[in-house]
Structure formats: C-alpha cells, structure tokens
Amino acid sequence: MAPVDELLLKILDDLDSKKLHRFKWLLKKNHASISTADTENAEATGVVDIMVARFTSAGAVKVMLDILRKMNENHLAEQLENEYKDVGSAVQTSRDAHTVDLNLQSGEAVNAPVLSSPVTVPSSSGGVEQQPCSAENKLRMPVFKSFSLTAQSAEKKLRFPVLRSFPLQSINGQDLEIKQYACNLTLDPNAAHPNLFLSERNRKATHVREKQPYPDHPERFDWQPQVLCGESLAGRCYWEVEWSTRMWVEIAVTYKGTRYKGADNDFLFSRNARSWVLKCSRYQYLAYHNNHMTNIPAPSQSKRVGVYVDVSASTLSFYSVSDTHTLTHLHTFNTTFTEPLYAGFLLQSDCSVSLCEF
C-alpha cells in the first residue's frame, strides 16, 4: 500500500502545469502558513513535502481535498478519498495504549485509550473545545480500527480530520487539527521600539539598553518597549512564541489602530480595550484586557506559548506548550473582533521573544 505522500503526489501528477499552478495559488491563498516563496518554483514533489510538513499527513489530505473541490476536480477528489481510506486498517499505538473499535453509527467508542495529558481540540465548527483530563473526566479519544462510512460523515461526528488508521501520538500536541492553521509571522521593524533589537530575520526581539538607530516612522512605539508583527491575522491562525525573561513578557493580539506615541496607559497592550494579552513570567500567567486582570496558575516551567485565534468564532485562546509539544489550555477570550488583528509583544529589560517556525 502506497504511503500518504505518494497518494498525494499521484493526484498532483494528474494535473497539467496550468492546473498545478492554480492548485499552488489556492494553497497559498487559503493557508497563511504557506508563502509564495514556498510554492513559486516548487514542483509536485515539493508541494507534497510542504503540505505534509505544515499540516501532517492527515491534514494534507484534507487540504488537498478542499482545493480539488474548489477547482471542480471532483473525480480526483473522489479518487484521493477512496484510496486514502484504504491506507491501513489498524494502528500501532504506544506501549501503554490499546487499539479500540469505533461504532461510527452511534458515535461511541469502546475501551478507548485514556490520555494522561490535557488536549484541546478546535472543533470543525470553529469553536475551541477544551477536554481536560482529571480523575472524574478523562479524555477518551477513539482510535480507528475500521469503518464503512465516508470520510465526510465520520468527520462530522469526530470533529477532526478523518484517518482510517490514527497514531495515538499524533493526538498529543500540535499534530492536532489546530496545526493546519499554523502561520509564520515576522516582526515589523517599523513598529519596533528603539530599545528592541530585532534578529533572526525579524523573528526574534530582545530588549537591549542601547537604542537602535531606527528611522522615524508613524507606527513606531516610542514609550513602552512594544512591537507588532507585520502580518494581519485573518480567519483561523495558530502560532507559537518562545520567551526568555527575568521579569515579564506580554504576548498580545491587538488592533493596529492602537496608539503608538506618548506616555499614557492607553498605549499599553494590557491597559486598553483594543488588545488581548497573556502576561508571562517564570511563576505565573496573567490574562489582561482593558485593564482587567485574570490570574492563571502556571502549569509548568514551559517558556513556549501557543496562540490560536478564530475570528469568525470570536475566540482567542492561549496555551502552554510543553517540551513534547503537548498543549495545555491557559485562557480563552470570547469577543467579537471588528478590525484586523495583529500579534504584538511587550518586553521588559533583558527579555526576548522568538516566533517559532513551522
């Protein structure tokens, strides 16, 4: 049986050069994590490698199906769907887990493995469902052994991209459906406060004592050590940030109209009504909006945070990301977003933040 990447390549090989060019354009247009540089000169093999790396095998199949249907290549979509359902019929789980049968007609799982770490699954409707593990409420995630329903009907029941064989380890961490919305962000040099030094292709900001020789710009912060990313956040977006600090770092999502000049609390991300903030230290997290604070006990010593925004669902969620890429929910803001959103950061002295690449 051909592996998933070979199935994807087989489908792309059936597209002529004009249709392949359109496929790459739709891939870039619909997924912020895919750039023009990724696809411009990529052949079919390169496109498959990029999709699997960005979305995992399951997500890549789902993305390809969506694009093929937008292109009215329904026969290829049906071919991919049918061949994908034939890839494997059992799963080798971790040593502590068990393979289970899933009754898709009733949506019930029998003897499903119990995961010991908290997992948050974005639902197919756009909302965010946190399913924490506890003594009273353990997350039971079905692992597929076999089924006879179509991929679409199964996905409606299960709320994540359908696999005939689903490895248990891909349930944990960023291999969830959330990863298909991963985006690579960069810091905007025109917005960086003079005491913030940008490096690593504008993916890292460090608070330094020496003012940087940045040119004047109307969007440059001149009071607090803040910086914005250059890319707006549309639809659903997920990104991760690593931080290093002896004091505090603020990870914000904000409207770009936030004022840049002057000494006033309205300029601070955490103090105004136009920003939503997770404030991080070695000991705790604080969620801020419009000067209202929510205390969040730190779940671990992790210095990596995941951020997921779903504009249409009016949700913004923050997660602690462990060394094994397990996501632990920290806080969710529920609000209607009325303007374009941007990621932003405030760094205290001797602090740094790095945007993670996917």
Is the pLDDT at 153 greater than 60? The verdict is no
The pTM of this model reads: 0.53
* pLDDT for position 30: 83
* pLDDT for position 2: 60
Residue boundaries of the structural domains of the chain = 4-85, 102-170, 181-355
Contact 150, 82 (CB under 8 A): no
Is the pLDDT at 176 greater than 80? The verdict is no
* pLDDT for position 258: 54
Contact 218, 188 (CB under 8 A): no
Tell the residue number behind the tokens 């940045």, with chain if given: 214
- The residue among 211 and 144 whose pLDDT is bigger is 211
Lowest mean per-residue pLDDT among 78-82, 245-249, 262-266: 262-266
Which CATH superfamily includes the segment(s) 4-85? Death Domain, Fas (1.10.533.10)
Over range 248-256, report the average pLDDT: 92
Is the pLDDT at 154 greater than 50? The verdict is no
What is the band of 136 on the pLDDT scale with cuts at 50, 70, 90?
A: very low
* pLDDT for position 299: 66
Q: What percent of the chain has pLDDT over 70?
A: 69
Is the pLDDT at 37 greater than 70? The verdict is yes
- Domain 181-355, classified CATH 2.60.120.920, yes or no: yes
DSSP lists the bridge partners of residue 345 as 227, 251
Cβ within 8 Å of residue 254, ≥6 positions away? 228, 269, 274, 275, 276, 341, 342, 344
The CA-to-CA distance between both ends of the chain, in Å, stands at 29
Over range 142-156, report the average pLDDT: 35
* Sign, Cα dihedral of 72, 49, 236, 177: positive
Size of the chain, expressed as the number of residues it contains? 358
Query: What are the pLDDT digits (tens) for 90-125?
Result: 233 333 333 333 333 333 333 333 333 333 434 433
Give the residue among 272, 294, 275, 273 at the shortest CA–CA distance from 285.
294
Is the pLDDT at 47 greater than 70? The verdict is yes
Lowest mean per-residue pLDDT among 26-30, 177-181, 207-211, 294-298: 177-181
**Most confidently modeled of 56-65, 242-251, 340-349?**
340-349
Give the residue among 146, 187, 184 at the shortest CA–CA distance from 163.
146
